[in-house]
Structure formats: structure tokens, C-alpha cells
């Protein structure tokens, strides 16, 4: 850290490693309980034909390793990418990593992928292009050929210290505060991932963060909101009613609702329950459901809308749909909704005008 502060262009990690190896060689620190890397294979790896008979036994673990390696690779790339660099393409990253591992398997290589600590060291030592990776590969080859005896004298604590020093810079408390000020849910994901990385390891922590985020997204998808809308006075802006917008206009006998996301078997009944509760509370003659935020309706959800329309008519109310996307509109046209019924509107404003016109007759 002192070298980085005083001489930022000096190769601080290399200097520290060289000094540590020299100290072990001069003072036999291993005799005092200092853990060393120990002997490493020397020379170029021999060509190895993978034993395909082991595939059935190894594929579950290999799949997990591949998933976690790819996840960490993309996470590292997103953490370090700069604004003037080409955009990240995860599919290309996955293909390149898989191709490298497939070729490396014939040389007995361990599974490879992107890593945050390695990337941090690269960035902080001035790496900007793929040339840095080529130089690293060349130096690794030279180390395998000529430096194996020296590498054996490297203390494990020195390697750990280098990783810690360069990883600490990745922890930015300001980012946590910024996330919390915008969305509490993402803050919980970030804290969960952070704690799991600290307690159980990087890959496991990333996996936990993914699971937590997927569960939260699944919960949001399974329980979409149903908002009661009001119109901002003097405008054609319709927004969810709230205490902050207490002056928004409502219309006697008309209930304006809006839902969001994809309607499918997992959330269709939940949306129907919320609609029934609101209809029972307000007793409207017309219910307008704004679907401008719905990009797809599954068949089971379409049956839910049809059932809701039937129940509304039996209760003396009509169900109108507004704000349909082209795909949703085409779907409804192929169903019973397209059989000459005048209950589909381009937006909520047109539905309101139609309602007012009917009311004046």
C-alpha cells in the first residue's frame, strides 16, 4: 500500500513477492511455521486426452463450476468496465470462456474464468488491452519453465495479502448508500451478497445474491400491483391515487384500474382477487382496466379476464380494456373479445370519453 501511494507506477505486487521469497530463502521462515506455496509442477503440461467415461460422474459438479465461473466473470467485467470501452456482451464472454476451457482440457488445465481480484490487480497495474492477458500467459509459461523452485518459497500469506489489498478497493460504502437511497430491495440484495462473500466465499456469495434476487423478482412477478387511477386535474395524465395526489379527479360510476407486467397462470388469479375487492368496495357501473404496462397475456390469464368480464356483467358492471399493446390487442382479437364488442380502447382517455358520452345519453 505504501508503494502504491508513493510510487504508483512501480510493480508493487511483484516487488513484494520477490522480497518475501528472498526473506524465506535467507531466513528459512518455513521453520518458524510460515506456510509456503510448496513445490509446483515444472515444465510444459503434456497433452492429455479427457476420459469421457467420467463425464456422467462429473457433469453435475462441472455444470455448477461453469455457472459460477461465468457469473463471476460477468460480475467482474461489469464492475471494472469503463465508459470508453466496448459494451459487455455476456454471450460472447460465455463462448470465449467455454472455448478456452475446452482447449485447456487437453492440456490438463484447471477451469478458467474471470475473477475480481485478478482483474483488480490488472487494472491497478495499468492493464488496458488484451495484451495484458497475453503477457500474463507468457510470464506464466516462463514461470512454469524456470521459476518453479522460487515459487515454492512464496508464503501463502503474501498471496492472501495481495488479494486483500486489491480487493478492499472494490468495497465502496458510497455505492451502498446510493443504492439504499434509491431502492431498499436492491440494497438488501447487495448486503446479502456482501455478507455471504465475506463469510462463505466469493462464488458462494454470488450464488446467494443471485438466488435472493431471483426469489424477489419471482415474488414481484407472482404478485403484480393493481392500482386505482385518478386523473391529474386539467390534463390527460392518469396516475395511481395516493395521499400526495389527493386532488386527482375520479368519476362517479367509473373505476379506473392499472396492472403491470406479464399476466400468466402464476399471477392471474391474484390480479383477479385484487380487482374483485376493488369492485366490491366501489360498486362501479364500468371498470376500465389499463393494460398499457402489460406486454403479454397467457391463455390462462385471458380466461381470467373473460371470467372477470362475465362476473362484472352479472353484477351490473362492464369491463373495458384500454392501452393495449399490439401483441395483446391481436391476442384479444382472436378471442371472444374481438367478436364485435365495443370495449377495447386505445388509451384510458378515450375510454373515459366514451363513458361520458354514454352517461349523457
- Is the pLDDT confidence value at 340 over 60? no
Q: Which whole number is the average pLDDT over 339-349? A: 80
CB contact at 8 A, 249 and 281:
no
- Do 271 and 352 fall within a single domain? yes
What's the confidence (pLDDT) of residue 339?
65
- Do 240 and 116 fall within a single domain? no
- Do 330 and 304 fall within a single domain? yes
- Do 197 and 133 fall within a single domain? no
State the Cα–Cα distance between residues 278 and 273, nearest whole angstrom. 9
- Do 154 and 79 fall within a single domain? yes
How many domains does the chain divide into? Answer: 3
Would 53 be classed as within a structural domain? no
Would 51 be classed as within a structural domain? no
- Do 161 and 141 fall within a single domain? yes
State the Cα–Cα distance between residues 354 and 343, nearest whole angstrom. 10
- Do 274 and 320 fall within a single domain? yes
- Is the pLDDT confidence value at 306 over 90? no
DSSP reduced 3-state for 291: strand
Strand order in the sheet with 344-345: 238-240, 226-231, 254-260, 286-293, 318-322, 344-345
What's the confidence (pLDDT) of residue 60?
82
- Do 159 and 244 fall within a single domain? no
Give the dihedral sign, CA 248/350/300/331.
negative
Listed residue (270, 343, 256, 339) closest to 301, CA to CA: 270
Would 215 be classed as within a structural domain? yes
CA 8, 14, 17 angle in degrees (round to 5)? 125
What's the confidence (pLDDT) of residue 323?
93
CB contact at 8 A, 88 and 81:
yes
- Which residues 6+ apart lie within 8 Å of 44 measured at CB? 141, 144, 145
% of the chain with per-residue pLDDT over 70: 98
- Which pLDDT band, with edges at 50, 70 and 90, does 256 fall under? very high
- Do 151 and 239 fall within a single domain? no
Q: What is the DSSP string of 37-51?
A: ------SPPPP----
**Higher local confidence (pLDDT), 274 or 111:** 274
- Whole-structure pTM value: 0.63
28 class by beta-carbon count within 10 Å (0-12 exposed, 13-18 middle, 19+ buried): exposed
**Higher local confidence (pLDDT), 287 or 334:** 287
- Is the pLDDT confidence value at 264 over 80? yes
Would 95 be classed as within a structural domain? yes
> What are the residue ranges of helices labelled H in 254-298?
268-282
What b/e string do you get for 258-269 counting C-beta neighbours within 10 Å, with b at 16 or more?
bbbbebbeebbe
Domain extent for 200: 173-222
Strand spans (E) along 144-195: none
- Do 281 and 152 fall within a single domain? no
- Give the β-pairing of 238-240 and 286-293: unpaired
Would 47 be classed as within a structural domain? no
**Higher local confidence (pLDDT), 234 or 258:** 258
- Do 237 and 134 fall within a single domain? no
What's the confidence (pLDDT) of residue 291?
94
Would 54 be classed as within a structural domain? no
Would 261 be classed as within a structural domain? yes
- Do 287 and 181 fall within a single domain? no
Would 11 be classed as within a structural domain? yes
CATH number at residue 232: 3.30.750.24
Each residue's pLDDT tens digit, 194-231: 888 888 877 677 778 788 888 888 888 899 999 999 99
Q: Work out the mean pLDDT of the chain and round it to a whole number.
A: 87
Amino acid at each position: 500500500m505504501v508503494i502504491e501511494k508513493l510510487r504508483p507506477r512501480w510493480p508493487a505486487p511483484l516487488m513484494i513477492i520477490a522480497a518475501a521469497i528472498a526473506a524465506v530463502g535467507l531466513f528459512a521462515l518455513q521453520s518458524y511455521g510460515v506456510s509456503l506455496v510448496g513445490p509446483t509442477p515444472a515444465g510444459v503440461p503434456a497433452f492429455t486426452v479427457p476420459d469421457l467415461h467420467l463425464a456422467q460422474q462429473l457433469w453435475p459438479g462441472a455444470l455448477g463450476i461453469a455457472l459460477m465461473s461465468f457469473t463471476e466473470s460477468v460480475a467482474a467485467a461489469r464492475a471494472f468496465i469503463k465508459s470508453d470501452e466496448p459494451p459487455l456482451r455476456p454471450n460472447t464472454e460465455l463462448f470465449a470462456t467455454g472455448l478456452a476451457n475446452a482447449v485447456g482440457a487437453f492440456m490438463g488445465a484447471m477451469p478458467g474464468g474471470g475473477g475480481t481480484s485478478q482483474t483488480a490487480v490488472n487494472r491497478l497495474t495499468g492493464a488496458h488491452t488484451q495484451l495484458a492477458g497475453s503477457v500474463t500467459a507468457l510470464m506464466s509459461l516462463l514461470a512454469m519453465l524456470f521459476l518453479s523452485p522460487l515459487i515454492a518459497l512464496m508464503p501463502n500469506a503474501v498471496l492472501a495479502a495481495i488479494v486483500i489489498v486489491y480487493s478492499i478497493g472494490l468495497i465502496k460504502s458510497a455505492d451502498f448508500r446510493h443504492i439504499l437511497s434509491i431502492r431498499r430491495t436492491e440494497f438488501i440484495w447487495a448486503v446479502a451478497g456482501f455478507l455471504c462473500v465475506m463469510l462463505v466465499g466469493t462464488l458462494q456469495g454470488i450464488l446467494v445474491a443471485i438466488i435472493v434476487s431471483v426469489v424477489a423478482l419471482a415474488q414481484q412477478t407472482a404478485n403484480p400491483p393493481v392500482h386505482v387511477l385518478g386523473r391529474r386535474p386539467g390534463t390527460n395524465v392518469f396516475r395511481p391515487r395516493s395521499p400526495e395526489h389527493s386532488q386527482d379527479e375520479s368519476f362517479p360510476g367509473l373505476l379506473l384500474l392499472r396492472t403491470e407486467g406479464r399476466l400468466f397462470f402464476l399471477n392471474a388469479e391474484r390480479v383477479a382477487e385484487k380487482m374483485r375487492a376493488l369492485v366490491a368496495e366501489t360498486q362501479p357501473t364500468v371498470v376500465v382496466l389499463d393494460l398499457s404496462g402489460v406486454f403479454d397475456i397467457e391463455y390462462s390469464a385471458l380466461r381470467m379476464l373473460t371470467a372477470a368480464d362475465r362476473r362484472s356483467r352479472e353484477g351490473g358492471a362492464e369491463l373495458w380494456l384500454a392501452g393495449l399493446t399490439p401483441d395483446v390487442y391481436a391476442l384479444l382479437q382472436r378471442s371472444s373479445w374481438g367478436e364485435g364488442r365495443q370495449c377495447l380502447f386505445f388509451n384510458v382517455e378515450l375510454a373515459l370519453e366514451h363513458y361520458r358520452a354514454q352517461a349523457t345519453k
